[in-house]
Amino acid sequence: MTRIGRKFCLTASVMAVAVALSACGGPPPVPDTKNLDELYQAAKAEGEVVWYAPKPEAQMKPAIDAFEKKYPGIEVRYTNKKAPDLVTQLNVEQAAERVTFDVSNAGGLTVLPSQSLAAKVDWASYEVPGDQIFADDFVYVWAVPKVWAYNTDAVAASDTPKSWDDLLDPRWNGGKLSVEARGSFMTVWAQDPALGTDAGLDYSSRLAQQQPHYTENTTQAHTLIVSGQTPVGTDLINLVLGDQAKGAPVAVAPVGPTNANKSYLFVAEGAPHPAAGRLLTAFLASEEGQSALVDTYNSAIPTNTDCTDAATNRVIGALCDAGVEWFGETNLEQYEQFSDYFPEVEEALGTDVN
């Protein structure tokens, strides 16, 4: 055999061994723990937890720091990923039996496809409040209410729209409303019994006649309001509050009711660190975890409130100050309804592409 041939064979052999070694092993066993203390010991043995969610890391940092302080020996590795990519990636990884992250996120349209991806967990045994457990395996951790916002330099408080019907006034015609093209701001019409989906579709058609300035998502609609390009538009409460804190001329318009889109965490089936994943999720649902999240406007908010808790939660405070009532999702059937409703909303708005 020539020298080159011997080198080739040696390299191929080393690679084959490496490949064989890397292919060994399967998902770790589900922890047999009955309470938080046992869970913590099991999680500490795992040493880390990998968490993916569609949120900037800066917003999750206070909660991550609080968790690592309370549970030393467990490192949180966080990555911001788009919601549809999360579902797809977890789906693919589970099919290949190579799940790489522990805690995932489901909200809005990703709730239904995420159901089959979640591990079965007895959350009550880990002290998760009953009203935060959804569909058995999901844990409600934060909500982001949608709002109508306005630029306070362009619109006086007395001139802001004060109802959904006010938005149809001719003075908001011709690009003065920045509106998210997917129509998620119309969710509340499917939730409030006083409104209804048929009325919502009719409203969407009339809103389209206002020739709003459509944007691909609510974040872009917010940028137009803050920069003064459009005086009024669809927005998210956490974006409004975040920029208000920096001195931006933006405020919540008293247009209600609205939807507070709930977001859930779940432990992925086949997670590489199942105990740590359960511990982190339970922590974020706890009072301590919620206290850390509330500072970045990402916490669970009750839908039934008399606004006495407004002082402790800026999101509730802003909604109460604006006099805006909100609705959250209550069961899986609502998400099934959204799957049919949203394409019709897009069609009514004239933004249906496919």
Partner 1 sequence: MQSGTPLSTGGRPPTGTRPPTGTRPQRTGVRPEPTDVHPHRRDRVLIGVNIVIGAIIAYLMLFPLGMLLFSSLKDSETKLPFQVPGFTLANFTAIFSSKRLVEVALNSLIFVVGTVGLALVISVSLAYLFERTDIPGRRFLAPSTLAPMAVPATVMAVAWVLAANPTNGPIAIVIERIFGFTIDIYSLPGMILVAGIFGVPGMYIMLAPTFARLNLEFEEAAATSGAGWWTRTRKVVLPLTMPGITAASMLLVVIALEEFAIPAILGMPDQIYVFSSLIQASLQPPSGLANYGQASAYGIMLVLLSLVMIAVYRRQTRESHRFQVVGGKGYRSTPVRLGRWRIPIFTIVFLYVLVAIIVPILTLVWTSLTPYLQPISLDNLGALSLANYTAIFTNPSLSQAVINTLVISLVTATLTAGFALWLALAASRGGRIGRWLFDISFLVFAIPAVVLGMAVLFLYLYLPFPIYGTIWIIIIAFTTRYVPRGSRMIQTALLQLDKGLEEVGRVSGASKGVVLRRVIFPLVAPAVSSTWLWVFAHSLGELPIALLLSSSDNRTVVVLLWDMIGESANYPEASALAVLLLALSAVSVWWVNRRGVQKHI
Length of the chain: 354
Q: State how beta strands 177-180 and 213-215 pair.
A: parallel
Element (H, E) at 278: helix 274-285
**Which of 218, 221, 210 lies closest to 165 in space, CA to CA?**
210
Number of residues that bind partner 1 (CB under 8 A): 72
Which of the residues 286 through 315 are near partner 1 (CB under 8 A)? none
Q: At its nearest, how many Å lie between partner 1 and the CB of residue 340? A: 8
Burial class of 218 by CB neighbour count within 10 A (0 to 12, 13 to 18, 19+): buried
Dihedrals phi, psi of 126, to nearest 5 degrees: -105, 25
**The one among 46, 67, 108, 286 contacting partner 1 by CB under 8 A:** 108
For residue 77, the cross-strand partners are: 50
Binding partner 1 (rule: CB under 8 A), the pick from 213, 257, 288, 303 is 213
Backbone angles phi, psi at 107, to 5 degrees: -165, 150
Least distance from partner 1 to the Cβ atom of residue 45, Å: 20
Tell me the C-alpha distance between 313 and 297, whole Å: 8
**Alpha-carbon span 198 to 22, nearest angstrom:** 55
Count of CB atoms within 10 A of residue 128's CB?
A: 22
The answer to whether the peptide bond before residue 257 is cis (omega within 30 degrees of 0) is yes
CB closer to partner 1, 12 vs 311: 12
Min CB(113)–partner 1 separation in Å: 4
CB of 50 to partner 1, least distance (A): 6
Options 52-60, 121-129, 191-199, 277-285: segment touching partner 1 (CB under 8 A) = 52-60
Specify the residue, 95 or 194, whose C-beta has the smaller distance to partner 1.
95
Name every residue whose Cβ is closer than 8 Å to that of residue 302 and which is 6 or more positions away in sequence. 309
Note the helical H segments in 102-259.
111-114, 197-208, 218-226, 237-244
d(CA 231, CA 216): 18
Q: Which is nearer to partner 1, 87 or 141 (CB)?
A: 87
Q: Is 206 in the site for partner 1 (CB under 8 A)?
A: no
Within residues 148-187, the interface with partner 1 by CB under 8 A covers 175, 181-182
What single DSSP character describes residue 353?
-
Which is nearer to partner 1, 60 or 128 (by Cβ)?
60
Choose between 101 and 126: whose C-beta lies nearer to partner 1: 101
When binding is defined by CB under 8 A, the residue of 84, 174, 196, 323 that contacts partner 1 is 84
Stretch 230-289 residues interacting with partner 1 (CB under 8 A): 230, 238-239, 242-243, 246-248
Does residue number 109 form part of the binding site for partner 1 (CB under 8 A)? yes
- Of the residues 10, 12, 17, 92, which one makes contact with partner 1 according to CB under 8 A: 92
Would you say 153 or 309 has its CB closer to partner 1?
A: 153
φ, ψ for residue 8, nearest 5 deg:
-60, -45
Residue from 26, 147, 190 nearest 94 by CA: 26
Residue 70 contacts partner 1 per CB under 8 A = no
Helix (H, G, I), strand (E, B) or coil at 262: strand
Judged by CB under 8 A, the stretch of 34-42, 85-93, 157-165, 284-292 that binds partner 1 is 85-93
Q: Which of residues 6-25 bind partner 1 (CB under 8 A)?
A: 18-20, 22-23
Contact string (CB under 8 A) for partner 1, positions 328-347, x = contact: ----------xx--xx--x-
Q: Which is nearer to partner 1, 9 or 58 (CB)?
A: 58
Of the residues 38, 44, 88, 152, which one makes contact with partner 1 according to CB under 8 A: 88
Token digits of residue 207? 């809103």
The b/e string for 184-205 (b: 16+ C-beta within 10 A; e otherwise) is bbbbbbbbbeebebeebbebbe
Select from 93, 166, 269, 288 the one that contacts partner 1 (CB under 8 A).
Answer: 93
Q: Which is nearer to partner 1, 139 or 226 (CB)?
A: 226
Q: 330 vs 339, which CB is nearer to partner 1?
A: 339
